């Protein structure tokens, strides 16, 4: 058995049976296992990169959504504040539409008109502006009907008077105009025809 370890004459070193490990098979196995380990690590790195990119995209979407929600909240708060201010403007309109009492100083009325103009200008700088309703076709997105009048010869509902002025804010309706609408006369069927 000792002779099996020592190469004998005619037997080259490294042949099977001389006790030396088979180098070619072991080296191939080692290279293959290293390749598998490398490929596994590459897959893990690719998966980690993909998870990172997804997390980055999710965070970016979250950031944009929060910014959009914050802008919507701010816009809604501004609209609510502007709606609260509009009744003050309505009172100015009523005061200026009423005849001045006898003995009232004309400078006082001019002062009220000046305040009214300044108030309108300030609202306009914020994007608030009144819109005309009288003579326009009735539009339920811009008008709120508070009354109706039947008029012969009318083809479509038309605004004939304004009870409360409507306002736009950034090209959206801030408050619809409260209007009286002229409509064509309704055709009322004779009740006798409905009987059988």
Q: What is the pLDDT of residues 38-85, one digit of tens each?
A: 999 999 999 999 999 999 999 999 999 999 999 999 999 999 999 999
Least confident of 33-37, 66-70, 100-104, 133-137: 100-104
CATH superfamily of 127-186: Head domain of nucleotide exchange factor GrpE (2.30.22.10)
126 Cβ partners below 8 Å, 6+ apart? 78, 82, 169
Q: Please state, in angstroms and rounded to a whole number, the distance separating the CA atoms of residues 87 and 120.
A: 13
pLDDT for res 108: 87
pLDDT (average), residues 103-131? 91
C-alpha to C-alpha distance for 169 and 185, rounded to whole angstroms: 35
Does the predicted model carry a pTM greater than 0.75?
no
Residue pair 182/151 in contact by the 8 Å Cβ criterion = yes
């Amino acid at each position: 058995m000792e002779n099996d370890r020592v190469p004998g004459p005619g037997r080259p070193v490294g042949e099977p049976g001389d006790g030396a490990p088979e180098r070619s098979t072991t080296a191939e196995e080692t290279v293959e296992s290293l390749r598998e380990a490398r490929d596994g690590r590459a897959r893990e790195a690719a998966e980690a990169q993909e998870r990172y990119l997804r997390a980055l995209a999710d965070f970016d979407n979250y950031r944009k959504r929060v910014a959009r929600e914050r802008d919507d909240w701010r816009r809604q708060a501004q609209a609510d504040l502007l709606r609260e201010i509009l009744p003050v403007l309505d009172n100015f309109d009523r005061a200026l539409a009423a005849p001045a009492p006898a003995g009232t100083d004309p400078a006082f009325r001019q002062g009220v008109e000046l305040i009214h103009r300044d108030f309108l200008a300030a609202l306009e700088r914020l994007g608030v502006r009144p819109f005309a309703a009288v003579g326009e076709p009735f539009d339920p997105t811009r008008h709120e009907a508070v009354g109706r009048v039947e008029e012969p010869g009318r083809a479509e509902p038309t605004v004939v008077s304004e009870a409360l002025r409507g306002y736009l804010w950034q090209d959206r309706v801030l408050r619809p105009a409260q209007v009286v609408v002229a409509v064509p006369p309704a055709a009322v069927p004779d009740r006798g025809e409905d009987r059988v």
